[in-house]
């Protein structure tokens, strides 16, 4: 790989012959302290600061030239081994998304601007930055323009996070700390009463005080007191349960695909389009709409690195789109049968070939992540799905449609049986009427 880096550095210097190596080194030396501060763990090279500057210059020039050659094929050498076989290009794009390989964007932007020629100006750096992202993102058409986000981004992973971020305002809210370390809105008494919450004084007696994060204590009622208050206790069945945070700061069990279908939920794939984000999942009128997306060999590597980065920036209260998306899909998928259903509805395009492998991938991605109850992107969707599944009529209706009206012939047979039953009932009533007259 070092050979490729040196070759691309020579290519950059040759193309910008008015600037010599010393000018790029001087520019990097000015950025050396700032670049060094971007890494959480201090590291030292054998040659000290000089070697650090040379390493950053070599890596940055390679990335810039690689992106240029990806975007402008006329700049490629005829026998360039990187572009002679497509897998090397894809491998480099994948490596640019690894968390440990991130280069500060201010370094790339500085060297990119220096390497531009006034006689033949090329595309902006934001346009070049799309190249590795389009190679590893699930769908090209979901990719928003990064032009407005590039200047403020720290590196490639931060750029991916920023282009999918949306500013959200939460006016007139009092934030109360909860166990996960985030904040949620605490309604006032009037708002609670409008929502049907009743206030009740707690009688004197034995109190068990449980400390919570806000520094106060609350009384936990015993089982008898809970039953007197109408609270029902229910055993939780064994099995995989994914707890999804909702806006009130609590967690609910997210049903999987098979459970949702048993409750009558219909799945609909949202066709790709430039105005549709992969994160736009909605549930309305019994239909769960999910944008179609691909699962390939690059999917797991990309998601692991962007999730790791989103977990790293967990204290800035931004929505963690990729973390929340993978958690939602993980909750939907328990087994390969769930994956098969999503593939059948054309929501997932499985390029891995094995449904079991896709299920294992999302289940592993769901392990160890910290979700933010106050900003979980799909909290309303999860709440609607749970409300739908808890209604017995929905399950009964779905079972009726599945068992007796699943095909036209079954519908005709069931309708005929009901008609005959009604005729028999009418005949029986007609024969009984003379007995009472």
pLDDT tens-digit series, residues 266-309: 899 988 766 677 888 999 888 999 998 889 888 898 899 988 88
pTM over 0.75: no
CB atoms within 10 A of CB 98: 15
CA distance 48 to 50: 6
| Helix or strand run (H / E) with residue 331 | helix 321-332
| Helix or strand run (H / E) with residue 277 | none
CA distance 5 to 17: 18
- Least-confidence region, from 99-103, 325-329, 413-417: 413-417
CB within 8 Å of 69: residues ≥ 6 apart: 75, 76, 80, 82, 83
What torsion do the CA atoms of 400, 405, 406, 408 make, to the nearest 10 degrees? 180
Largest CA distance in the chain: 116
CA distance 243 to 331: 8
Spatial contact of 27 and 110, defined as CB atoms under 8 Å apart: yes
Going from the C-alpha of 437 to that of each of 24, 425, 427, 430, 431, the distances in angstroms are 110, 19, 16, 12, 11
Burial code of 26-56, b = ≥16 C-beta within 10 A, e = fewer?
ebbeebeeebeeeeeeeeeeeeeeeebbeeb
pLDDT tens-digit series, residues 363-403: 988 777 777 766 788 888 888 888 887 776 566 665 655 55
Q: How confident is the model at residue 353 (pLDDT cuts 50, 70, 90)?
A: confident
Could you state, in order of their start, the residue ranges of all structural domains in the chain?
2-164, 175-228, 243-392, 405-436
Task: Name the average pLDDT for the chain.
Answer: 75
CA distance 153 to 280: 23
**% of the chain residues with pLDDT over 90:** 10
Spatial contact of 131 and 87, defined as CB atoms under 8 Å apart: no
Give the model's pLDDT for residue 344: 92
196: tokens are: 């049907």
- Least-confidence region, from 119-133, 261-275, 349-363: 119-133
């Amino acid at each position: 790989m070092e050979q490729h880096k040196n070759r691309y550095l020579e290519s950059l210097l040759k193309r910008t012959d008015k600037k010599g190596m010393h000018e790029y080194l001087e520019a990097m030396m000015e950025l050396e302290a700032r670049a060094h501060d971007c890494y959480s763990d201090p590291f030292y090279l054998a040659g000290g600061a000089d070697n650090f500057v040379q390493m950053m210059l070599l890596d940055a020039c390679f990335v810039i030239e690689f992106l240029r050659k990806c975007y402008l094929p006329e700049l490629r050498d005829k026998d360039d081994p990187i572009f002679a076989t497509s897998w090397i290009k894809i491998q480099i794009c994948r490596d640019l998304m690894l968390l440990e390989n991130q280069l500060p964007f201010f370094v790339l932007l500085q060297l990119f601007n220096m390497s531009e020629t006034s006689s033949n100006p090329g595309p902006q750096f934001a346009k070049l930055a799309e190249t590795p992202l389009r190679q590893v993102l699930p769908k090209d058409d979901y990719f928003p323009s990064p032009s407005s986000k590039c200047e403020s981004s720290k590196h490639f992973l931060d750029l991916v996070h920023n282009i999918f971020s949306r500013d959200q305002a939460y006016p007139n809210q009092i934030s109360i700390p909860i166990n996960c370390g985030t904040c949620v809105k605490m309604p006032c008494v009037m708002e609670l009463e409008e929502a049907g919450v009743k206030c009740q004084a707690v009688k004197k007696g034995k109190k068990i005080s449980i400390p919570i994060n806000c520094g106060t204590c609350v009384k936990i009622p015993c089982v008898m007191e809970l039953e007197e208050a109408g609270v029902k206790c229910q055993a939780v069945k064994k099995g995989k349960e994914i707890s999804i945070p909702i806006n009130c700061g609590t967690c609910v069990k997210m049903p999987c695909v098979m459970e949702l279908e048993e409750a009558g939920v219909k799945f609909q794939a949202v066709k790709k389009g430039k105005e549709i984000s992969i994160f736009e999942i909605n549930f309305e009128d019994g239909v769960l709409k999910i944008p179609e997306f691909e699962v390939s060999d690059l999917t797991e590597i990309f998601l692991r690195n962007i999730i790791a980065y989103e977990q790293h920036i967990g204290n800035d209260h931004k929505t963690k789109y990729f973390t929340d998306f993978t958690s939602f899909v993980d909750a939907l998928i328990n087994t390969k049968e769930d994956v098969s259903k999503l593939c059948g509805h054309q929501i997932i395009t499985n390029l891995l070939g094995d449904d079991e492998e896709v299920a294992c991938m999302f289940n592993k991605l769901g392990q160890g992540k910290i979700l933010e109850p106050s900003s979980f992107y799909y909290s309303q969707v999860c709440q609607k799905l749970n409300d739908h599944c808890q209604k017995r009529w929905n399950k009964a209706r779905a079972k009726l449609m599945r068992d007796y009206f699943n095909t036209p012939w079954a519908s005709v047979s069931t309708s005929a049986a009901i008609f005959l039953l009604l005729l028999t009932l009418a005949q029986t009533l007609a024969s009984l009427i003379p007995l009472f007259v």
